[in-house]
Amino acid sequence: METNFESIEARVDYLKKIFTQLKDWEDKYKWIIQKGKNLEESSTLSEAEKEDKLRVSGCQSQVWLKSFYDEKSNILSFKANSDALIAKGLVGVVVSIYQHQEPAKILKHSPDFLIDLGLSENLSPSRSNGLYSMLKQLKLYAQVYELMNLKQ
């Protein structure tokens, strides 16, 4: 999934369209794994960047998520990685939805699309918990930068 769509909702709609076109959950898992393998280089943490402080707690696999904030444009960007293919794909999906957005827009957006896609019910409980931990960490980054904006 490309990240050049303007709004979060347009990205979610695109993701829903992809999932609708996939026949079954085996195909959806394959797509998620491929998403992780094809995570844009600009969005992938290198081995050297995988610091303990960037690990997402609550994930069974090791997942790292780092934020970058551009004060001038008020845009938040992310880099991520994982040691497991499905987890890397899931964090890739989450990052691609919220990449290059304003913190306030990230915070306002409900993650209901995860339910709409069936991810909550078709992932194992540990993967589902990990997915929500990734999203929670991403939103915490957005919250920090939004609070910084409000103090200025």
Give catalytic residue positions.
59
d(CA 87, CA 128): 10
Query: Is residue 129 within 8 Å of residue 75, measured between CB atoms?
Result: no
d(CA 6, CA 1): 13
Contacts of 10 (CB under 8 A, 6+ apart): none
β partners of residue 44: 80
Neighbours of 9 (CB within 10 A): 13
Query: Is residue 97 within 8 Å of residue 12, measured between CB atoms?
Result: yes
E strands in the chain: 63-70, 75-82
